[in-house]
Structure 1
Amino acid sequence: MPTPPTASTAVPPHWGTTVRTISIQLAAAVVIGGAAHLAPGLVVPPLLAIVLAMALSPVARWLEGKGLPPLGSSLICTAGIGAILALIISLLAYEAGELFRQLIGNLDRISTLIAAALRRAGVVTAAATPEFWSVTLSELIRTSLDWTVRRLGGLLGVVAGAIFLLLSLFFLLRRRDAWAGRAFRLADWLGLRRDPEVVKATRNRVASYLGILSVIAASYTVLISLVFWAIGLPNPILWGALTGLLEFIPIFGPLISGSLATLGSLASGTLWKPALVATIFIILHTIEGYILWPIVFGKTIQSDQVTILLGILFFGWLLGPLGPVLGLPLVIILRGLTALTPGTPALDALVAAEDAAD
């Protein structure tokens, strides 16, 4: 009669492979995370290139299906991203300069309006004086500019990062099949499951997320531009473009854009315009938070909102200003790696959305 297995012999299948796989992943995460935190300018462009390559692969294949060679499709996709980057950098630089000039030029007026509103609300502390708000806003502007310039590495760092990003994107698109083969061989060596369906689903989620978000950002750009133009506020197109760009920072981007737009409209010297701008942003972001995110993004990303929030905060801390932009795509990619890692079904169920887990 065979002897029943003891507790020490009841080892899960591929236990050694699972331990090696998870150990290598943790070690790689520590190394990459340390490098990203110490030198984000060297790590962020390749990560962004990987995310864009995943999103643009269907576009490149469609162009090749129309008769273009891989070199031509890669060049067109890279040139398109380059044009968008140039437009974004130009808009942000101009908008930042205009906003800075308006805030500095109208700092006393804005401080007086805020102090008057607080006094009407019954506040009698030092916070209800124009001098307090003048000093506070000046310090906030200076600190924000210093932090942004330091994290981005100045103008030279931005240009160098953009060139590095475009070169990485071009080579990833040009040799995407070769890179996919290398990735599968690396996955075999790490002990990951070779599951093309999981890889395809992860790529489609990244592409769908960026596609839907681009449509929403474009809609916000048009809508906010029309609103600012209709009520007579300066630079309506630039404010619309800034609002659309900040949509790529989930959760926090809409809060930043709404706050900046309301603060900028205070320079008009009236209270009804800032109140109207704040009301419009509250309505838009309420619709976004209660309809678009649960219905559209929830089914696309298939991750719990707490996981999304933690991912945005973590990658924002790790990678700097572009970290929140990369946060959600990286969460999607990490969840795909979790699904391919043997022995981690509990972790995959933990980070999944409720409907996906069911």
Structure 2
Amino acid sequence: MSPLPQEKIGQNILLKLATLVVILAGLKLSAEIVVPFLLALFLAIVLNPLVTALMRRGLRRGMAISLVVVVILLIIAMLVGMIASSADEFSAIYPQLQSQAEQKLAVLQHAAARFHIRLSSESLMQRLDPGAMVNVATSMFTQISGAMTQLVLVVMTVVFMLFEVHHLPYKLRNALVNPQIRIAGLHRALKGVTHYLALKTLIGLITGFAVWLVLLALGVKFALLWGVVAFLLNYIPNIGPVIAGIPPVLQALLLNTPLDAGLVAALFIAIHMLCGNMLEPRLMGRGLGLSSLVVFLSLIFWGWLLGPVGMLLSVPLTSVCKILMETTPGGSKLAILLGNGRPVK
């Protein structure tokens, strides 16, 4: 006897789930290869409009790509130099930081004793041991060396992608089974992701510049570094601005005054309210059509699957998956679940 329709449906669901598990396991195991490729892909998506704009001004594609890549490499070199300078300055003020931490922890221990709360300032200060800091610094330099090796691979991949992008429509028309629907879906995905990343970059620049100026006015050290960190973490939805605000607040509490630390915390809250809750929704409009719950869950999922780069690209990756589901038979219902619940006009 042939299986009942319900049994066939169950078998199909199990088969699809098993396929999904195999794909996710493969992505997890091959993250070292997938992550640089995804990063290069999204960098190429962001940089391609700049290359196109330069070509409209009369430059050849090769010259336009070279100019854009040189500018990006100069920006990366400036960031690396700034991080190295900040590391040297941190090593110089570390004794002061340790002394201030001891004083503040002693005051905290005395205040906690009034409420019959026992705190050990010595055990807390062990976490600021110079040997431990040296080990952390060594580990960071090792990771930076590996990242620089991947950076060369990412830049080379971006260059080849930018050279190949104008051949992509021809290849898709001749390679896909249903090219009109597929190309239309890919075009929507690319347009949405480009719009999202461009606006996120603009809002991140505004956020980082505002953080730098206010921290500089308050006399907080490493103001430029914290501005760059705020810019980068702005790409992480929901929790990125919160993570960016923790280090400067703690630093202001140790090296400045509690009033300065409160002003820094109020600064990050105000910037997040202004840029994240007012400016960003106004500029993005309906955005990528994802619900707030899906955005938060995608942050957790892609972060678990691909690490920090997955968190940075969680929203674009989920949006691309949603749009591709809409053009896939049987995937439209799942795409509706990922959407924001508004009807498509």
Where does residue 294 of structure 2 map in the other structure? Answer: 307
Where does residue 325 of structure 2 map in the other structure? Answer: 338
1:18-77 CA distance string (max 9 Å, x none)? 9999987775444233311xxx2x221111111121222222222222222222222223
Where does residue 60 of structure 1 map in the other structure? Answer: 51
Q: Are 1:70 and 2:61 matched, yes or no?
A: yes
Contact 1:74 1:170 in 2 (8 A): yes
Contact 2:211 2:226 in 1 (8 A): yes
1:82-119 CA distance string (max 9 Å, x none)? 22333333334444554566456413423542553575
- Once the two structures are overlaid, the 10-residue window that deviates more, 340-349 or 319-328, is 319-328
| 1:1-358 equivalent positions in 2, closer than 5 A | 28-36=23-31, 40=32, 42-95=33-86, 98-99=89-90, 102=93, 105-114=96-105, 116-117=107-108, 120=111, 123-127=115-119, 129-136=120-127, 145=136, 149=140, 154-183=143-172, 187-188=176-177, 194-297=181-284, 299-355=286-342
How far, CA to CA, are the matches of 1:311 and 1:103 in structure 2? Answer: 38
How far, CA to CA, are the matches of 2:170 and 2:192 in structure 1? Answer: 21
* Residues 320 and 61 of structure 1: CA distance in aligned 2, closer, same or farther (over 3 Å): same
Contact 2:104 2:254 in 1 (8 A): no
How far, CA to CA, are the matches of 1:92 and 1:180 in structure 2? Answer: 41
* Residues 107 and 331 of structure 1: CA distance in aligned 2, closer, same or farther (over 3 Å): farther
Alignment TM-score, normalising by the size of structure 2: 0.82
* Residues 332 and 247 of structure 1: CA distance in aligned 2, closer, same or farther (over 3 Å): same
Structure 1 letter corresponding to 2:29: G
1:212-269 CA distance string (max 9 Å, x none)? 1222222122212221221222232232222222222222221121101101112324
Contact 2:82 2:225 in 1 (8 A): yes
**Greater relative CO, 1 or 2 (CA 8 Å, sep 6+):** 1
* Residues 323 and 195 of structure 1: CA distance in aligned 2, closer, same or farther (over 3 Å): closer
Contact 2:234 2:240 in 1 (8 A): yes
Contact 1:50 1:172 in 2 (8 A): yes
Contact 1:55 1:203 in 2 (8 A): no
Contact 1:108 1:134 in 2 (8 A): no
Gaps of 5+ in 2: none
How far, CA to CA, are the matches of 2:115 and 2:129 in structure 1? Answer: 22
Alignment TM-score, normalising by the size of structure 1: 0.79
Equivalent residue pairs, number: 336
* Residues 350 and 93 of structure 1: CA distance in aligned 2, closer, same or farther (over 3 Å): farther
Root-mean-square deviation over aligned CA pairs? 3.6
* Residues 142 and 80 of structure 1: CA distance in aligned 2, closer, same or farther (over 3 Å): same
Identity %: 23
